[in-house]
Amino acid sequence: MIPSLRTASAAVLAFTAFAAAPAAFAAEAAPTPAAIARDGSHDFDFDFGVWKTEITRRLHPLSGSTESMKLTGTVTIRKIWGGKASIEEIEADGPKGRWEGMSLFLYDPVAHQWSQSFIGSAGGTFGGGMVGSFHDGKGELFQQDTLDGRAILVRATWSEITPTSHKYEEDYSADGGKTWAVSFVAHKTKIHS
């Protein structure tokens, strides 16, 4: 009688474990709130308005040279398509004259990422787009590009964000992102919304 009691107990335990398994698997497979991608469609809302910009542009960023030039100007950013996109217009003056550019920012709600495509007035064509997102109050977008015939990575960063100022920085890497060299820094101060 003892062996059959053991067999019956083992069967009850096996059935209980089997019956509880779907609930355990469901609890394990359910995404936690942190694992669900957040809606970043308003990440660039801080940027809308008119800004005074002070730019330092490194002339040869991957050469080790610190030679740079300064530009001062205005950046105007307005939302379009109900905030799903924005247009940035840049006008700045420096030692080589006036520099003008425009960026189109688009939010991809499926990937939860932003893209930025830049157009310089001198070239008149879209550059390759940067793609990325915001984390911990800082935005980072990346793209592959070439500089002086070399393949590089470009990283754009928005940081030090307050209601009246922020910093934009562009860095280049020739070693796949192991090290970065500053190429462009803009300190923006809000003129009006």
Amino acid letter, residue 181? A
Rounded Cα–Cα distance for residues 55 and 41 (Å): 27
pTM: 0.78
Rounded Cα–Cα distance for residues 87 and 75 (Å): 10
Non-local (6+) Cβ contacts of 37 within 8 A are: 112
Predicted confidence at residue 36, as pLDDT, reads 65
pLDDT along the chain (193 residues), means of 10: 39 38 44 65 93 96 93 96 92 95 94 94 82 95 94 97 97 96 97 86
Please state, in angstroms and as integers, the Cα–Cα distance from residue 2 to each residue in 6, 8, 9, 10, 141, following that order: 6, 10, 10, 12, 69
Closest CA to 167 of 178, 181, 179, 156: 156
Predicted confidence at residue 11, as pLDDT, reads 39
Apex 148 CA angle, 145 and 151, nearest 5? 35
